[in-house]
Structure 1
Amino acid sequence: MNNFKNKIAVITGGNSGIGYATARHLKENGATVIITGRRKEAIEKAVADLGVTGFVADQSDLKATEKLAAWVKENYGEVDILFVNAGITTQSTIETASEQHFDDIMNINFKGAYFTLSKFIPILRDAASVVFLSSIVATINHPGSSVYSASKAALNSVMKTAALELAPRKIRVNAISPGPTETEIMSKAGIDEATWNTIKGNLINKIPLNRMGTPADVASMVAYLSDDAAQFITGSEIIMDGGMVIV
Structure 2
Amino acid sequence: MVATSGRFVDRCVLVLGGNAGIGLAAARMFAAEGAKVAITGRNADTIAAAAQEIEGLGIRADMGVIAETQAALAEVKEALGGIDVLFVNAGVGGFAMVPDVTEDFWDGIHNVNLRGAFFAIQHALPLMRDGGAIVITGSIGSVAAVPGNVAYAAAKAGLRAMARIVGKELLPRRIRVNMVSPGPTDTEIFKRDASEAEIQGMKDMLNSVVPLGRMGTSEEIARAVLFLASPDASFINGIDLMADGGCIELG
Normalising by structure 2, report the TM-score. Answer: 0.95
Q: Does residue 201 of the first structure (1) align with residue 204 of the second (2)?
A: yes
* 1:52-83 CA distance string (max 9 Å, x none): 21011110011111111222122211100100
Match of 2:213, SS state, is coil
Partner of 2:172: 168
Identity score, percent: 37
Q: Does 207-216 or 44-53 show the bigger shift?
A: 44-53
C-alpha offsets along residues 95-138 of structure 1, whole Å, 9 cap, x if unaligned?
Answer: 11122111111111111101110000111000111001000000
Provide the C-alpha distance between the structure 2 equivalents of 1:225 and 1:169, rounded to a whole number of angstroms.
Answer: 17
- Matches of 1:50 and 1:101, distance apart in 2: 34
- Distance across 2 between alignment mates of 1:214 and 1:226: 19
Correspondent of 1:235 among 223, 238, 242: 238
* Structure 1 residue aligned with 2:22: 18
Aligned length: 246
Out of 190-199 and 44-53, give the one that drifted further. 190-199
Deviation at 1:196, TM superposition (A): 2.9
TM-align CA RMSD: 1.2
Cα distance, 1:229 vs. partner?
A: 1.2
Partner of 1:117: 121
Letter in 2 for 1:193: E
Residues 227 and 161 (structure 1), Cα distance of their counterparts in 2 relative to 1, 3 Å cut: same
- Mean alpha-carbon deviation: is it higher for 76-85 or for 41-50? 41-50
> In 2, Cα distance between the equivalents of 1:15 and 1:53?
11
Could you tell me which runs of 5 or more consecutive residues in structure 2 were left unpaired when the two chains were aligned.
none
Which amino acid letter does the alignment assign opposite residue 27 of structure 1? A
1:47 corresponds in structure 2 to: 51
**CA–CA separation in structure 2 for the residues paired with 1:59 and 1:172:** 22
Post-superposition Cα deviations, 1:167-220, rounded to whole Å, max 9, x if no partner, equal 1110000000010000111134x4443223222212212222212111101111
Task: Show structure 1 runs of 4+ deviating over 6 A.
Answer: none
Distance 2:181 2:64 in 1: 21
Pair 1:185 & 2:189 matched: yes
For residues 193 and 61 of structure 1, what CA distance do their matches in structure 2 show?
Answer: 33
- The within-5 A match list for 1:29-40 is 29-40=33-44
Unaligned runs of 5+ in 1: none
SS in 2 for 1:30: coil
Structure-1-length-normalised TM-score:
0.96
- Give the letter for the 1:125 counterpart: R
Aligned to 1:56: 60
Question: Following the alignment from structure 2 to structure 1, what is the Cα–Cα distance between the partners of residues 229 and 110?
Answer: 26
Structure 2 counterpart of 1:133, which letter? T
Determine the structure 1 residue equivalent to 2:108. Answer: 104
Change (3 A) 1:112 1:48: same
Q: Provide the C-alpha distance between the structure 1 equivalents of 2:114 and 2:197, rounded to a whole number of angstroms.
A: 31
